[in-house]
């Protein structure tokens, strides 16, 4: 398996623009997670899905963030409008029976 | 109190020594514990999981769990320069919905000098 695939790897955008991050989980994994990592706050869970259904979005910072999982092989995290404080590395992870595997991450810079 | 706490380090050890990384957690009902290694600029990589009190060994790595003390540790024997990375402790926390979610500590940076 190719592992968890995220795109793009790097995104540079201007404040106010819409940003969409994409994730393809490992085939057969029933959980999908979106994390954000910064130096100050470490790795924070934003939202997670079980069998494509959002289970806990309490970590989503505000209404500017939204996530969808239309099928078992694809998920998106959208930020609209983006702000400089959203600059971070965003990781997608999938799991089966508890062990999580992370994608390579998307490094987002909002200018 | 943070849900998962780690000393940020850096923890410096000479090559060949034992590195000891520690983690405490706040949720008494947590059942699953994980150690991840993250090289600079890379994604976290799962290296150990432990579910029962006691020790679990995998090669040069040993995870130790003490649920009564809410403490989990990772020992790295015969440390190598290639072990230099940030080590993240992660604990499954029961979410309000009844499902478990993984909460990470901020990590301990390990430096192994040749």
- Summarised one tens digit per residue, pLDDT across range A79-109 is 999 999 999 999 999 988 777 889 999 999 9
> Which percentage of chain A shows pLDDT scores above 90?
82
CA distances from B29 to B12, B32, B77, B106 (A): 33, 10, 30, 21
Q: Facing residues of A72 across strands?
A: none
Helices (H) and strands (E) in chain A — how many of each?
0, 11
Interchain CB contacts (distance < 8 Å): A and B: 50
What local confidence, expressed as pLDDT, does residue B96 receive? Answer: 47
User: Best mutation site among A30, A35, A37 for testing chain B: the one with the most B CBs within 10 Å?
Assistant: A37
Query: Cβ A48–B104 below 8 Å, yes or no?
Result: no
Q: Facing residues of B24 across strands?
A: B5, B71
What local confidence, expressed as pLDDT, does residue B99 receive? Answer: 52
pLDDT at residue A1 greater than cutoff 70: no
CA angle A4, A1, A30 (to 5 degrees): 55
Give chain A positions within 8 Å (CB) of B102: 33, 45, 100
Q: How many Å apart are CA B27 and CA A109, to the nearest integer?
A: 34
Mean pLDDT of chain A: 93
pLDDT at residue B98 greater than cutoff 50: no
Q: Give A4's contacts (C-beta < 8 A, 6+ positions apart).
A: A23, A24, A25, A26, A92, A93, A94, A101, A102, A103, A104
Q: List, for residues B26-64, the tens digit of each pLDDT value.
A: 988 888 899 999 999 999 999 999 988 999 999 999 999
Q: How many Å apart are CA A18 and CA A64, to the nearest integer?
A: 9
């Amino acid at each position: 398996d190719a592992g968890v695939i995220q795109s793009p790897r790097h995104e540079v955008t201007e404040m106010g623009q819409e940003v969409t991050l994409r994730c393809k989980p490992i085939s057969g994994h029933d959980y999908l997670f979106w994390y954000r990592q910064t130096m100050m706050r470490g790795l924070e869970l934003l939202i997670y899905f079980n069998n494509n259904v959002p289970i806990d979005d309490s970590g989503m910072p505000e209404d500017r963030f939204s996530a969808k999982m239309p099928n078992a092989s694809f998920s998106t995290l959208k930020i609209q409008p983006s702000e400089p404080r959203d600059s971070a590395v965003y990781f997608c992870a999938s799991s089966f029976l508890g062990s999580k595997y992370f994608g390579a991450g998307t490094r987002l810079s909002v200018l | 109190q943070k849900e998962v706490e780690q000393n940020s380090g850096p923890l410096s050890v000479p090559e060949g020594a034992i590195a000891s990384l520690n983690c405490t957690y706040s949720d008494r009902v947590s059942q699953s514990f994980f150690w991840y290694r993250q090289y600079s600029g890379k994604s976290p990589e799962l290296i150990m999981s432990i579910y029962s009190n006691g020790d679990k060994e995998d090669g040069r790595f040993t995870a130790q769990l003490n649920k009564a003390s809410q403490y989990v540790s990772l020992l790295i024997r015969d440390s190598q320069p290639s072990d230099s990375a940030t080590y993240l402790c992660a604990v499954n926390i029961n979410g309000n919905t009844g499902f478990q979610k993984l909460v990470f500590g901020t990590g301990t940076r390990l430096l192994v000098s040749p």
